[in-house]
Structures are given as structure tokens and as C-alpha cells.
Amino acid sequence: MDEHDKRRVGEQIEPGGRPKAPGRLELLQRFINSYNHDLPLEWDRIGTPKSARAWLRQKRLVAAGDRISDADVARLRELREAMRALAIANQGGQSGAAAADVVRRVSDVAQLSVVIDGTGRTALEPAGRGVDAAMATLLGILHEAQLTGHWSRMKGCRQCGYAFFDRSKNRSAAWCAMSICGNRTKNRAYYRRRRTPTR
Ligand SMILES: [Zn+2]
């Protein structure tokens, strides 16, 4: 993958050409994938108040007049990494307890209301403003995805932490794309084996 394509991963491109997560879960997926440790730090889509504001505006998570501070960026990134850790925990074998603590701290102050439209359909919407509202919305999506059962298919790649939606029948996918991270993992194991002295 060249740099042009790599910069589009998480927004326009999914590794391995996987389909995006269904419904609103796609937004939470994009939030987690606004960065991963395989990419240069300056590519973080919510890495500065300016970039975070642009990203959140584009996703309609904040309103036009909302401001984003350095502290807001730190909170957003902390929530993102906690959500990623929960997605990685969906792979099994790893506890999401520390991440759940972070998400719980966010939920302690998040304000969500059940709103009802003219046909009686309900939706969870944030009652606050700014980054508080954005984080509440993301929390609401996490909740909805757990009710629908989709959350358990949201996984963090074992190699790079990229959040991908596992549509496989037996829910066995472990890497964002076998061609990228799967092979990297296998190659490393291969070289490790080769480096091991055989007398
Ligand atoms: Zn990966």
C-alpha cells in the first residue's frame, strides 16, 4: 500500500477490503481508527485541537461553534484507546477491565436522552455540548451495538490494533487483513524460527 492509500485507511479504505461495521457502529469504528500505532503520529486525525475539531465536525459530533481544547484532545484519545482495548478484548484472551474503567469514567458524566420521533421510534441523543456530547454519542453507539450483538464482532487487530468488523461465520478473524498484519505476524515467526540456531 502506498502512502496515499495508507493515509485513507480508516476512512475511505478498509484493510483487506472488509465491509465497514453496520449502522452507527461505523462511526465508532472510524473513531477508533482515527489513528493506530503503525502510522506516523502526525497522521492522528484527532491529534490536535484543530484536527480533532475538523474530524468531529465532519462526523457531526460537535456543533459549529464548539471549541476543542488540548485537554479535550487528551480525553478523546484516552477514550479512543479504551474503546480499542475493548475491541481487542473481543478477540478473547485479554482483559478489558482497565479500558472499562476509562469508559466508565466517561459514562459517569455523559448525558444521553431517549428522544422519540413522530412515529414513536426512539434514539439515544446527547444532551450536552462539545466534546462531552461527542463522547456521549460514541458511548450511546457502544451501548446500541451491545444490544444488537454487533459489538462482539468489532475486533482490534492483534498486530496493529486496527478496529475491524468480523463478518466471518465462526468469528475467527484475528487480523485487520491477512495480507498485511497476518503475513507480518507469520513472517516474524518464520524469521524467528530461522534465527533459532539449529546446532
Ligand atoms: Zn492490523
- Centre of ligand 1 from the C-alpha of residue 132, in Å: 30
Is 31 within 8 Å of 22 (Cβ atoms)?
no
Q: What is the pLDDT of residue 197?
A: 57
- Centre of ligand 1 from the C-alpha of residue 4, in Å: 18
- Centre of ligand 1 from the C-alpha of residue 184, in Å: 9
**What pTM was computed for the model?**
0.91
- Centre of ligand 1 from the C-alpha of residue 90, in Å: 15
pLDDT band at 194; cut points 50, 70, 90: low
Per-residue pLDDT at 145 exceeds 70: yes
Q: What is the pLDDT of residue 181?
A: 85
- Centre of ligand 1 from the C-alpha of residue 183, in Å: 10
Residues 24, 157: Cα–Cα separation, whole Å: 20
Over residues 115-123, the mean pLDDT reads: 96
